[in-house]
Structure 1
Amino acid sequence: MWRIILVLLALSVGPAAAASGPRAQIGEFAWLAGRWSGTGLGGETEEWIMPAVDGQMVGMFRASRAGKLSFTEQFVFAEADGTVELRVRHFNADFTSWEDKAEMVRFPLVSSGTNRAQFSAVTYERDGDRLRAIVRETDKKGVPVELTLDWVLVK
């Protein structure tokens, strides 16, 4: 079920044009950096986000269940046209891509504040050593679906 939701999310957002969100710079998102670990999607999940270099924060997401890799994401928070957008590519356990070779899923920034960033379909919120990602989607029947992932900072 979780995989269907994520595939629908990727397809519904699709490749987007250049970012057109509120003014922002990558330095405002430094609070996201770290190695985050938790549960979700029926198993274990991890999110690794590196500090910014050249206007980009590169990251990786991993989902596993019962010791078996389910899928991964490679992503980047990147400055674009005076704002920041989240760009994502998804991969199966064998590293085959969900998206076509030149495509990626783009989430424009909607709003941001202290320890909070809302992109078009994903919101990140940090509280101390805890990070939450809320993914919003509609299923095939048009019913809103919200997926919440909670992580703890690994030190």
Structure 2
Amino acid sequence: MKKILLTLCVLAFLNTKAQENTMKFTENSTSPPANLDEVSWIAGHWKGEAFGGITEEIWSPPLGNSMMFSFKLVVKNKVVFYELGGITQVGETLLLQLKHFNADFKGWEEKDDTVDFKLVKVTENKVYFDQFTIEKISDNEINLYVVLADDGQEKEVKFNYKRQ
């Protein structure tokens, strides 16, 4: 029994360390009050490198209670996939939603489904959604951290972007 408990404690510690830049939205909790002006620093044209290629994100400034974005991954000069989405003002808080598309714009999610990230916390230079964090390093650099699952293992992945 002690061995099982020790193993669980070690796994919990490693999982916490592996996800030190993201936070998890706990069910039965409530997203905090926030507005788009608090995260307007995300707006811009950003480029970086990840997954063996070039990543590009373009975020609009707040308009119509939302900030929309497009993302693409290009490897060997070919688009691998796209994401389209945005941060929306929902009542007194924010919600990040997105959809994935293959290079031919065929969707990954079902027609009416989106991948949703509930707001966990906002600070001056970071916005924490459920396992998805956007961090302002400077006016010309941001980091995105997202927890991805692969073969049942979760891993926090960092995207570093420079303003274009």
Shorter-chain TM-score range: 0.7 to 0.9
Deviation at 1:144, TM superposition (A): 2.6
The percentage of aligned residue pairs carrying the same residue is 30
Q: How far did 1:81 drift?
A: 2.5
Q: Is the 8 A contact 1:34 1:153 kept in 2?
A: yes
Aligned residue among 16, 38, 54 for 1:44: 54
1:71-150 residue pairs with structure 2 within 5 A? 71-128=81-138, 129-141=140-152, 143-150=153-160
Q: Which has the larger radius of gyration?
A: 2
Where structure 1 has 5 or more consecutive residues not aligned to the other structure, the ranges are: 1-18
- Residue 137 of structure 1 and its aligned partner are, at CA, apart by 3.2
Give unpaired runs (5+ residues) of structure 2: 1-28
The TM-score, its normalising length taken from structure 1, stands at: 0.83
Task: Using the TM superposition, give the Cα deviation of residue 140 of structure 1 relative to its aligned residue in structure 2, in angstroms.
Answer: 2.7
TM-score (norm 2): 0.79
Which residue of structure 2 lines up, in the alignment, with residue 7 of structure 1?
Answer: none
- How many aligned positions are there? 135
Offset from partner CA, 1:5-51 (integer Å, 9 cap, x none): xxxxxxxxxxxxxx941100111111100000010111000010000
Q: Tell me the amino acid that sits aligned with residue 45 of structure 1.
A: T
RMSD: 1.3
What CA deviation, in whole Å up to 9, does each residue of 1:62-93 have, x standing for no partner? 10101000000001100113100100000000
Hey, what does 1:151 align to over in structure 2? 161
* Alpha-carbon contact 1:130-1:151 (below 8 Å) kept: yes
Runs (4+) of structure 1 exceeding 2 A deviation are 137-141
Q: Distance in 1 between matches of 2:30 and 2:104?
A: 34
